[in-house]
């Protein structure tokens, strides 16, 4: 799950939690009522990204009701947002990420909602990631715990693979991704994630194989085949180590992929654009001038059609 999606889930959960908190206040003690008010006020600050005031109110909520477990994640996330990686090494700043970790840990153990416990673990892993504390040895056992809790969730294996890849443990990363494939063999996202790993490793055949599998799993979606075409074009255009025969083969396979995308959506402007680019490359390599001119003409027609489609969409949007 991406950071954006995690944040969205947290915001929804916070809104639900505050709406529940607003009812039934008569049954609370004075300390608990004070905790409820601080929780509600903290939520208001949190939603407006005022992390300092949010953290202050959430601290008051917990001080008055330590059993109010739903507060811990948001307290941790407020401190997390206050932390500045660029100021790592400054005592006050480093204390913020430690407070975030402490409260994420408490949330992962105490929050009554399974989704929030899972979210806390995900943010805990991110706190140990390369953008923050860069401590993969601490992140790994957390992800292994997540896998133990949800052994059939591929995103957990993605997270483990990322830790291994960041640490240069490429064989272990590949094994984790293969495990994700085993638990969700029909999920296109698994194969696009695997393709990204192989692409970073410079293994083009395995990259393409994974992308093609993802495309095959969504037979009505043209974007999968267009992505395949994009990779073939990039390889043929940028890799100057290719022989003439290899480049010709990749150009043709890229054209074939755009054709599959266009068969599903004839007005797919991106596929039209890439087929245009691939045909131009094919024309550049053609020694027969008549055939070269025909390829350029076909490329021009596709380019012009893509331009017109984009103009119509822009006009429609306005």
Q: Do 218 and 189 touch, CB atoms closer than 8 A?
A: no
Q: Do 265 and 298 touch, CB atoms closer than 8 A?
A: no
User: 95: pLDDT confidence band, cut at 50, 70 and 90?
Assistant: very high
Q: Tell me: the pLDDT tens digits for 230-255?
A: 999 999 999 999 999 999 999 999 99
**Average pLDDT, stretch 89-112?**
96
Residue 97 has pLDDT above 80, yes or no: yes
**Average pLDDT, stretch 11-27?**
45
Q: Do 64 and 38 touch, CB atoms closer than 8 A?
A: yes
Q: Residue 306 corresponds to which tokens in the numbers above? A: 């893509």
Q: What is the share, in percent, of the chain residues with pLDDT greater than 70?
A: 90
CA distance 281 to 273: 13
Question: Which of 99-103, 188-192, 311-315 has the least mean pLDDT?
Answer: 311-315
User: 5: pLDDT confidence band, cut at 50, 70 and 90?
Assistant: very low
Whole-number mean pLDDT of the chain?
91
User: 11: pLDDT confidence band, cut at 50, 70 and 90?
Assistant: low
Q: What is the share, in percent, of the chain residues with pLDDT greater than 90?
A: 87
Structurally, what CATH architecture does the domain formed by 220-318 represent? Alpha Horseshoe (1.25)
Cα distances (angstroms) measured from residue 243 to each of 204, 232, 235: 15, 14, 12
Outline where the chain has alpha helix (H).
3-21, 30-47, 51-64, 71-82, 91-110, 114-127, 136-149, 154-166, 170-183, 188-200, 204-216, 222-238, 244-264, 269-284, 289-317
Q: Is 219 helix (H, G, I), strand (E, B) or coil?
A: coil
More confident: 15 or 156: 156
- Of residues 247, 305, 304, the one with CA closest to residue 281: 247
pLDDT for the residue numbered 315: 84
CA distance 77 to 3: 12
Please report, for the chain, the start and end positions of each structural domain, with discontinuous segments joined by +. Answer: 220-318
pLDDT for the residue numbered 31: 67
**Average pLDDT, stretch 137-159?**
96
The HSE-up count of residue 186 (CA atoms within 13 Å, CB side) is 2
Cα distances (angstroms) measured from residue 293 to each of 285, 303, 305, 307: 12, 15, 18, 21
User: 12: pLDDT confidence band, cut at 50, 70 and 90?
Assistant: very low
- Of residues 186, 187, 193, the one with CA closest to residue 160: 193
Residue 19 has pLDDT above 60, yes or no: no
**Average pLDDT, stretch 292-317?**
94
Phi then psi dihedrals of residue 24, to 5 deg:
70, 30
Q: Tell me: the pLDDT tens digits for 267-290?
A: 999 999 999 999 999 999 999 999
- Of residues 1, 65, 71, the one with CA closest to residue 31: 65
Phi then psi dihedrals of residue 205, to 5 deg:
-55, -45
Q: Is 1 helix (H, G, I), strand (E, B) or coil?
A: coil
pLDDT for the residue numbered 23: 38
User: 310: pLDDT confidence band, cut at 50, 70 and 90?
Assistant: very high
User: 50: pLDDT confidence band, cut at 50, 70 and 90?
Assistant: very high
């Amino acid at each position: 799950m991406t950071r954006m999606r995690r944040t969205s889930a947290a915001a929804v959960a916070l809104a639900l939690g505050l709406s529940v908190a607003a009812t039934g206040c008569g049954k609370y003690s004075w300390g608990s009522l004070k905790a409820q008010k601080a929780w509600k006020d903290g939520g208001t600050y949190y939603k407006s990204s005022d992390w300092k005031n949010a953290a202050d109110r959430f601290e008051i909520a917990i001080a008055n009701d330590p059993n109010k477990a739903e507060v811990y994640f948001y307290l941790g996330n407020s401190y997390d947002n206050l932390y500045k990686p660029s100021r790592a090494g400054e005592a006050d700043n480093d204390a913020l990420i430690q407070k975030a970790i402490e409260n994420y840990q408490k949330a992962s153990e105490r929050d009554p909602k399974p989704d929030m416990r899972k979210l806390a673990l995900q943010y805990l892993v991110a706190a140990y990631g390369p953008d923050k504390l860069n401590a993969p040895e601490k992140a790994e056992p957390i992800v292994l715990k997540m896998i133990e809790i949800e052994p059939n969730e591929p995103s957990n294996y993605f997270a483990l693979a990322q830790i291994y890849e960041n640490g240069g443990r490429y064989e272990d990363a590949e094994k984790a991704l293969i495990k994700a494939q085993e638990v969700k063999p029909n999920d296109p996202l698994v194969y696009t994630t695997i393709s990204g790993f192989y692409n970073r490793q410079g293994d083009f055949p395995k990259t393409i194989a994974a992308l093609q599998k993802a495309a095959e799993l969504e037979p009505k979606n043209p974007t999968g085949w267009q992505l395949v075409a994009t990779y073939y074009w990039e390889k043929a255009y940028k890799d100057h180590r290719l022989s003439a025969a290899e480049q010709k083969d990749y150009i043709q396979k890229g054209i074939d992929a755009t054709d599959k995308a266009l068969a599903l959506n004839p007005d797919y402007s991106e596929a039209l654009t890439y087929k245009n680019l691939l045909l131009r490359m094919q024309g550049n390599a053609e020694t027969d001038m008549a055939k070269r001119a025909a390829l350029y003409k076909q490329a021009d027609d596709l380019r012009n059609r893509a331009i017109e489609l984009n103009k119509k969409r822009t006009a429609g949007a306005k």
